[in-house]
């Protein structure tokens, strides 16, 4: 089983559910505070890989929901700078197992990568938005 560094927003109900399914699948989950971690453009970029810039964003972020920030209209460099200064913009969770990093909770990807023993219904939609 894997040791997962799980970058979360403390108190987030979705992140709590996601950590629970990872632990129930036999993984060791080491939670890290996404909001206080000392991000750099390089460390953030390691989680995004080849995903398009708009997929890096937390669509439930107040600045995105209000229309102040339109992820489809932002360059990679601008997105990274915005996220360093406002980590609520970062799509959660960020997951790291050894050298591999991923963003979001794509259950099929995670299952193929490290294995999951169960699945969540709608694992990324904020519970408060329902």
| Catalytic residue set | 12
Question: pLDDT tens digits for 58-110?
Answer: 999 999 999 999 999 999 999 999 999 999 999 999 999 999 999 999 999 99
What separation in angstroms does the CA of 8 have from each of 25, 74, 78, 100?
19, 23, 22, 17
More confident residue, 88 or 117: 88
Domains of the chain listed by start with CATH number: 3-123 (3.40.30.10)
Tell me the average pLDDT across 99-123. Answer: 87
Q: How big is the chain by its Cα radius of gyration, in Å?
A: 14
Question: Can you say whether residue 60 is alpha, beta or left, with left for phi > 0 and alpha for psi between -120 and 50 degrees?
Answer: alpha
pTM: 0.90
């Amino acid at each position: 089983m894997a040791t997962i560094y799980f970058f979360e927003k403390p108190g987030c109900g979705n992140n709590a559910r996601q950590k629970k399914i990872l632990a129930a699948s036999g993984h060791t989950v080491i939670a890290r505070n996404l909001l206080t971690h000392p991000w750099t453009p390089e460390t953030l970029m390691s989680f995004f890989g080849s995903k398009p810039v708009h997929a890096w964003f937390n669509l439930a972020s107040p600045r995105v929901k209000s229309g102040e920030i339109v992820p489809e209209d932002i360059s990679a460099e601008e997105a990274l700078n915005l996220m360093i200064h406002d980590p609520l913009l970062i799509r959660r969770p960020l997951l790291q197992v050894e050298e591999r990093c991923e963003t979001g909770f794509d259950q099929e990807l995670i299952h193929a990568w490290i294995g999951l023993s169960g699945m969540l219904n709608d694992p990324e939609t904020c519970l408060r938005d329902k």
